Structure 1
Amino acid sequence: MTPRELVGIAEVPGGPPLRLFRRGKDFMIVLERNELMSTRMSGSEVALGTLACQRLVGRPAPRLLIGGYGMGFTLRAVLGLVGKDADVVVAELVPGIIEWARGPMADLTDGCLDDPRVALEMGDVGDIIRRQTGGYDAILLDVDNGPDGLTRPANDSIYTVRGLEAAWRALRPGGILAVWSAAPDPVFARRLGSVGFSVDEVRVKARDNGKGATHIIWFARRD
């Protein structure tokens, strides 16, 4: 087996560091002993972007917020589907993630961060959401491990009733809050409904070939 090579370490504000590994052509981002994401399992991240955009068909000049760049799979899926008049804001908390995207993973990034439709904001996506009122057609969250946080405790606030109410206010009427999760969470699904969203829970496979673990994406519409 090809050995795993440590490429870099990125500090996480308020949490333990992330490590980027490479094995052959594949990259993995690891938190302690947990593999958070890898280039081998991108199916559900792509689905987050693809299925959200399908729910925005017909909206002129859509404005989207993507919380968490990760390896850019969701961003690239979105850019492949929205028009030239779209506005896509990417919020990323960890500077090292963007350094890796522009450095060792530049071939994978494929210039998506330099697309004229993209604005990169370094910081907590929760803060960005709270600053907006009716500003987005869609908010796509792939932050931490989903509502059951893993990377840093402060991420949990995004998924509280108060955090979801802020997302509801930040969306335009009919807008979509799309939330990725590594596992089901019936309590969180009910919480979305209690805030006033109509909720569609979709199960998707981790790999783009339809194999691997099953992940969850909630599509919550502001009616």
Structure 2
Amino acid sequence: MARFTEIGTATIPGNGTRLRLLQRNDEFSIKIAGTTGELMNSRVHGSEDALATLACERIADQPSPRVLIGGLGMGFTLAAALAALGDDAQVTVAELVPEVEAWNRGALGAAAGNPLSDPRARIHIGDVAELLRSSEGEWDAILLDVDNGPEGLTRKENNWIYSPAGIAAAQKSLRPEGILAYWSAGPEHAFTERLRRAGFSVEPVTVRALRPGKGARHVIWLAW
């Protein structure tokens, strides 16, 4: 069996954590240097797809829908959002690590079908928190997959996204009838209640990492 080969590295701004991009034939993996576990694998993206599909199907009939995605990753959430929306949509992805954009415009891009090449896609290099703080009534859907979930793994600053202040900023950024969605590696009742206390109706949806009925169970919170 072929072995993974490192084809790229990147440092997460602000904390020095190093990411490694690995390739084995047509399979890609992103890991944190010095650990054995994976952050992402190109063969396991069912829940990333679901993050986009579950939210975008609720706004697909909106005229010229605008979607904000926090976290580019391997591009699967972006690809699923574009597939669910019409030609008049615009999808902006905020990605903190510049090299991740470069990876997706290079060899990695083929894994998700090169969604950054779609004219409806936009990229913002920087923290999605910047866009949440600066926008008001701008987005029909906000999809947040910036860490492992409400308990941040890769960067402590990500915890703000899941805090009452971060939730309030996202709420302010939504258009009327907009939808807010969060990805998480697992359930957390306290976060469900935090969203409800902010005034949202909330539906935590359990999805599978690989495909329906297969893979680890992840959670998508839908809030409106």
The alignment's TM-score, normalised by the length of structure 1, stands at 0.95
1:168 deviates by 0.4
SS of corresponding position for 2:110: helix
Mapping 1:11-90, distance limit 5 Å: 11-15=11-15, 16-32=17-33, 33=35, 34-90=37-93
SS of corresponding position for 1:49: helix
Identity %: 51
Q: Does the 8 Å CA contact 2:26/2:111 hold for their aligned counterparts?
A: no
SS of corresponding position for 2:168: helix
Tell me: CA distance 1:101–1:178, structure 2 relative to 1, closer, same or farther (3 Å).
Answer: same
1:140 aligns with 2:143: yes
Taking only aligned residues, the RMSD between alpha carbons, in angstroms, comes to 1.2
The alignment's TM-score, normalised by the length of structure 2, stands at 0.95
Q: Which amino acid aligns with 2:21?
A: L
SS of corresponding position for 2:102: helix
Which segments of 5 or more consecutive residues in structure 2 lack a partner in the other structure? none
User: Structure 1 runs of 4+ off > 4 angstroms?
Assistant: none
1:105 pairs with 103, 108, 111, which one? 108
Q: Which amino acid aligns with 2:2?
A: T
User: Match for residue 3 of structure 2?
Assistant: 3
1:168 aligns with 2:171: yes
Cα separation, 2, equivalents of 1:136 and 1:106 = 26
Q: Does the 8 Å CA contact 2:69/2:142 hold for their aligned counterparts?
A: yes
Q: Which amino acid aligns with 1:141?
A: L
Q: Does the 8 Å CA contact 1:63/1:88 hold for their aligned counterparts?
A: yes
Cα separation, 2, equivalents of 1:36 and 1:111 = 20
Mapping 1:169-188, distance limit 5 Å: 169-188=172-191
Q: Which amino acid aligns with 2:120?
A: R
Cα separation, 1, equivalents of 2:54 and 2:109 = 26
1:126 pairs with 125, 129, 141, which one? 129
Q: Which amino acid aligns with 1:5?
A: T
